[in-house]
């Protein structure tokens, strides 16, 4: 690990101090509220081990996207620390912000850029030369199933293909941590299944740390090493469920007895929460 680009509250500690050696993302005591409203998060702790795929499942309106914006450094927490590992010094922003690969719900591809230049934007912003950035994108296109699309514009691609480009863009944004915010929610059911299989393949090859937000329980179980359930509002803790299913997984895995067992367990967890708190539908 080249270094840690973290944002620390209080005295500046040594570079590695805020994070244990194996954590890809470490959140401690996170509190945040919108002005004049009830807090969304209060004293939230969250740790994603390096190289793991972790999903957050929560009802809508729980502040999932706000959490992502906090993690991405787009919002400043009221209190607490957020540390992401694996951001090399050459990829640090001048402002000292965390550089993470953020994949938004909408693909947000720039209509004025080709696939090649859309995917290369992160490298470009990090100061990599345009030529080198393009070379690195071209290298990755085939394995992401995007071979031959480099000169196309976003409006010339299907929804699934656009999300692949969006994923590639976050993969190349620098940093070991990828934040995926319901990336497949806008796709039709068939495309979604094929994109889930695609993501499994790509991730099993690259093994980046991924934090994935979804409201689709099957999707969360199929993809993740661990599923975190948002328990209450404000979110003070996330209840973990370890997904002990062998990898590599395919869509067949969802028919596995153990998968069904885990799904029942997760549903019970969600159900118990909604009956207990009454705030979640």
Partner 1 sequence: MKMLKEKLPILLFILLLAACWELGTLVFDIPPYIIPRLSDVFAAIGHHAALLGKHFALTLWEALLGLAFSVLFGVLSAIWIESSSLARKTIYPLIVASQTIPIIALSPIMVMWFGYEMGSKVAVVILFTFFPIAVNTADGFRTADREIGELLRSMGAGKVQLFLKWKIPSALPSFFTGFKMAAAISVGGATLGEWLGGESGLGVYTKRAANMLRGDDVFAGVLLLSLMGVALFVAAQFIERLVLGRRQA
Question: Considering beta carbons, is residue 10 or 111 the nearer one to partner 1?
Answer: 111
CB of 159 to partner 1, least distance (A): 15
Q: How far apart are CA 30 and CA 23, in angstroms?
A: 17
Contacts of 190 (CB under 8 A, 6+ apart): none
State in angstroms the smallest separation of the CB of 89 from partner 1.
Answer: 13
* Shortest spacing between CB 160 and partner 1, in angstroms: 18
Q: Which is nearer to partner 1, 113 or 263 (CB)?
A: 113
Give 57 or 72: the residue with its C-beta nearer to partner 1.
72
Find the shortest distance in angstroms from Cβ 252 to partner 1: 34
Distances (CA, A) of 204 to 127, 184, 212, 248, 249: 29, 18, 15, 7, 9
Nearer CB in complex with partner 1: 71/202: 71
Mapping DSSP onto H, E and C, the string for the chain reads CCCEEEECCCCCCCCCCCCCCCEEEEEEEEEECCCCCCCCEEEEEEEEECCCEEEEECCCCCCHHHHHHHHCCCCCCCEEEEEEECCCHHHCCCCCCCCCEEECCCCCCCCCCCHHHHHCHHHHHCCCCHHHHHHHHHHHCHHHCCCCCCCCCHHHCCHHHHHHHHHHHHHCCCCCEEEEECCCCCCCHHHHHHHHHHHHHHHHHHCCEEEEEECCHHHHHHHCCEEEEECCCCECCEEEEECCCCCCCCHHHHHCHHHHHHHHHHHHHHHHHHHHHCCCC
**Residue (1 or 110) nearer to partner 1, CB:** 110
Phi, psi of 246 (to 5 degrees): -70, 155
Residues that bind partner 1 (CB under 8 A): 69, 72-74, 91-95, 97, 99-100, 102, 104, 106, 108, 110-113, 121-122, 124-126, 153, 155, 173-174
- C-beta of 18 vs 122, nearer to partner 1: 122
Closest distance to partner 1 from the beta carbon of 184 (Å): 17
Closer residue to partner 1 in complex, CB, 173/270: 173
**Could you tell me the smallest distance in angstroms from the CB atom of residue 182 to partner 1?**
13
Smallest gap, in angstroms, from Cβ of residue 168 to partner 1? 13
Closer by beta carbon to partner 1, 6 or else 174: 174
């Amino acid at each position: 690990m080249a270094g840690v680009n973290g944002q620390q509250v209080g005295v500046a500690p040594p570079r590695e101090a805020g994070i244990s050696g194996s954590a890809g993302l470490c959140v401690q005591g996170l509190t945040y509220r919108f002005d004049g409203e009830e807090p969304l998060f209060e004293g939230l702790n969250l740790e994603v081990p390096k190289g793991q795929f972790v999903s957050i499942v929560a009802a809508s309106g729980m502040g999932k996207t706000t959490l992502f914006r906090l993690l991405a450094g787009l919002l400043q927490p009221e209190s607490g620390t957020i540390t992401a590992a694996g951001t090399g010094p050459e990829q640090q922003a001048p402002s000292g912000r965390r550089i993470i690969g953020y994949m938004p719900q909408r693909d947000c591809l720039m209509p004025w850029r080709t696939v090649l230049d859309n995917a290369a934007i992160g490298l470009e912003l990090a100061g990599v030369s345009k030529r080198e950035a393009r070379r690195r994108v071209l290298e990755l296109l085939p394995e992401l199933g995007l071979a031959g699309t480099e000169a196309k514009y976003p409006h010339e691609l299907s929804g699934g293909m656009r999300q692949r480009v969006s994923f590639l863009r976050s993969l190349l944004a620098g940093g070991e941590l990828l934040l995926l915010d319901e990336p497949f929610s806008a796709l039709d059911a068939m495309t979604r299944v094929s994109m889930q299989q695609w993501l499994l393949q790509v991730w099993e090859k690259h093994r980046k740390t991924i934090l994935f937000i979804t409201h689709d329980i099957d999707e969360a179980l199929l993809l993740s090493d661990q599923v975190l359930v948002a328990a209450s509002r404000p979110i003070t803790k996330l209840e973990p469920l370890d997904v002990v299913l062998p990898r590599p997984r395919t869509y067949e895995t969802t028919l596995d007895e153990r998968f069904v067992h885990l799904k029942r367990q997760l549903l019970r967890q969600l159900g118990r929460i909604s009956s207990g708190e009454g705030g979640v539908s």
